[in-house]
Amino acid sequence: MKPAESAAYARTLGNLSAKRVIARQTAPAPSFATTLAKATTTTAFQKSPAASAVDLLSSNALGLDPAAVPLTSPSGSAARLPVTAVPLRPTSAPSVSIASIGSGDVPYADLIDRAARKYGIDPALIAAVAHAESGFNPRAGSNAGAKGVMQLMDATARGLGVSDSFDPAQNIDGGAKFLAGLLKQYNGNTSLALAAYNAGPGAVQKYGGIPPYEETQRYVPKVLGLLAQYQGKLSATTETA
């Protein structure tokens, strides 16, 4: 190659490299919908395989029935379980306050109530997830890298706007935002939202319901049981007020 041609070729490569750098710098930040579709959170004892990143825009694409949960057993067979055992509060802005139970029963109650009002979900659900995920421990961490009260993975946390997962206020706000997005995605089906919180939306889509992972099949009924307990305490507090 002649010197003039060599110089021209170098300039061309330089221009292409500059264009790639500019493209990377100006690329738009991922939307919350994209973050929600790709996010997975893992509990301290998560044993299920990593979920694939699947773009889930609505539960209608899955053909899911909001009145029942398709529970897939490890053998591959499926059973239809009604979602009526645990009465669910409307997902509009809640009028109840988890702080009314008492801070001794619910750590970070004020932060939970704030997040519940902000995202329009039941504070008892946030408390139940925090209880199951970390026992309300803000310094909790898993071998898989999940952190904080709501056990957020780093990539999930970033997509939710959480810069410090060990900050209870940020972590609870991020976890509540994630839960609210999942509830919307699954038409208010709490069981499917919890399964996706634990194993990822991709796993829920893959199996058409709660994945057959041992951890997830323990996790969903555990959180639903805690939800019922917190809702029962809230109801008792309201009745005696």
Residues 3, 104, single domain; the answer is: no
133 flagged as catalytic: yes
CB neighbours of 26 closer than 8 A, spacing ≥ 6? none
* Mean pLDDT within 199-210: 96
Is residue 168 scored above 70 in pLDDT? Answer: yes
Residues 19, 95, single domain; the answer is: no
Residues 14, 71, single domain; the answer is: no
Tens digits of residue pLDDT in 44-68: 333 333 332 222 222 222 333 333 3
Q: How far apart are CA 224 and CA 107, in angstroms?
A: 19
Sign for the pseudo-dihedral over CA of 125, 41, 114, 148: positive
Residues 165, 216, single domain; the answer is: yes
Tens digits of residue pLDDT in 85-99: 333 444 444 567 888
* pLDDT band at residue 187 using 50, 70 and 90 as cut-offs: very high
Q: Containing domain of residue 3, as a range? A: 1-29
Is this structure's pTM higher than 0.85? Answer: no
Residues 109, 130, single domain; the answer is: yes
Amino acid at 70: P
Residues 88, 162, single domain; the answer is: yes
Domain count, the chain: 2
Residues 77, 164, single domain; the answer is: yes
* pLDDT band at residue 18 using 50, 70 and 90 as cut-offs: very low
Residues 91, 147, single domain; the answer is: yes
The CA-based dihedral angle spanning residues 189, 191, 192, 194, taken in that order and rounded to the nearest 10 degrees: 120
> Closest by alpha carbon to 113, among 97, 130, 129?
97
Indicate which CATH number applies to the domain containing 110: 1.10.530.10
Which one of the listed residues 5, 133, 215, 239 is annotated catalytic? 133
> Closest by alpha carbon to 138, among 178, 120, 111, 159?
111
Q: What is the pLDDT of residue 210?
A: 97
Tens digits of residue pLDDT in 68-126: 344 444 444 433 333 323 334 444 445 678 888 865 679 999 999 999 999 999 999 99
Q: How far apart are CA 14 and CA 147, in angstroms?
A: 42
The 3-state secondary structure of 29-86, one letter per residue: CCCHHHHHHHCCCCCCCCCCCCCCCCCCCCHHHHCCCCCEEEEECCCCCEEEEECCCC
Residues 22, 46, single domain; the answer is: no
- Mean per-residue pLDDT of the chain: 73
CB neighbours of 189 closer than 8 A, spacing ≥ 6? 59, 64, 66, 69, 83, 183
DSSP state of 98: G
* pLDDT band at residue 217 using 50, 70 and 90 as cut-offs: very high
